[in-house]
């Protein structure tokens, strides 16, 4: 499908002046029941990453972000910038010279152009309400996930993504100070839900 889109852009003479972005809002999905989950695991759809859609493990939240912008984004280049989907709005605002305010995102335009990305996230925060509320924070190479039981914090796991991208080795017992630091960021970032359907305090 992507090839068809690129081909059509070229046919219309728009390929040199169009930004094409390929991304996803979450990791490998398991809609379709147990057979789909078995297929995802069999085909290693998440690669070395642990987890699937609706997980806060990397396999549920880490996604590709590929940009084609002839003359602006160097072909076959990569960036080590760690961002999130909320960076898309400020990035496209910067491209179109529009102003946006009150957003958690950062413009990653410099990183796309292969320049030094001065603005960096202090940390990234996620929360998800299904299957028991859970929260995650990533700060530099450290990632913590806090699981809830009956509406209260139950346990927190800690991983060093630089050394363990598959999140197999829980370091929470050996680094309690880091757990406390990242849990404090979760408390700071979380805002109580105003939804009557999802009462998360």
144-162: per-residue pLDDT in tens?
Answer: 999 999 889 999 999 999 9
* Chain mean pLDDT for the chain: 90
> What pLDDT does residue 42 have?
67
pLDDT in tens, 40-92: 666 677 788 898 888 899 999 999 899 999 999 999 999 989 999 999 999 99
pLDDT in tens, 181-200: 999 999 999 987 776 666 65
Report d(CA 198, CA 73) in Å as an integer.
Answer: 41
Domain with CATH 3.30.1120.10 in the chain: 124-189
CATH architecture of 124-189: 2-Layer Sandwich (3.30)
pLDDT in tens, 109-121: 999 998 888 889 9
142 near 125, Cβ under 8 Å? no
> What pLDDT does residue 129 have?
85
pTM of the predicted model, to two decimals? 0.87
Considering only CA atoms, which of 169, 170, 81, 157 is closest in space to residue 124? 81
């Amino acid at each position: 499908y992507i090839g068809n889109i690129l081909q059509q852009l070229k046919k219309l003479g728009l390929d040199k002046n169009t930004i094409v972005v390929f991304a996803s809002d979450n990791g490998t999905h398991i809609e379709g029941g147990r057979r789909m989950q078995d297929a995802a695991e069999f085909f290693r759809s998440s690669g070395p990453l642990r987890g699937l859609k609706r997980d806060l493990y990397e396999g549920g939240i880490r996604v590709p972000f590929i940009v084609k912008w002839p003359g602006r984004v160097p072909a076959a280049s990569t960036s080590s910038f760690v961002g999130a989907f909320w960076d898309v709005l400020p990035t496209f605002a910067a491209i179109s010279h529009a102003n946006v305010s009150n957003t958690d995102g950062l413009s990653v335009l410099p990183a796309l152009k292969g320049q030094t990305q001065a603005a960096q996230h202090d940390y990234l925060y996620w929360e998800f309400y299904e299957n028991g509320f859970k929260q995650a924070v990533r700060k530099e190479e450290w990632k913590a996930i806090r699981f809830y039981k009956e509406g209260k914090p139950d346990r927190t796991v800690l991983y060093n993504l630089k050394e363990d991208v598959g999140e197999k080795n829980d370091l929470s017992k050996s680094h309690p100070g880091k757990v406390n630091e990242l849990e404090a960021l979760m408390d700071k970032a979380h805002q109580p839900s105003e939804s009557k359907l999802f009462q998360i305090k």
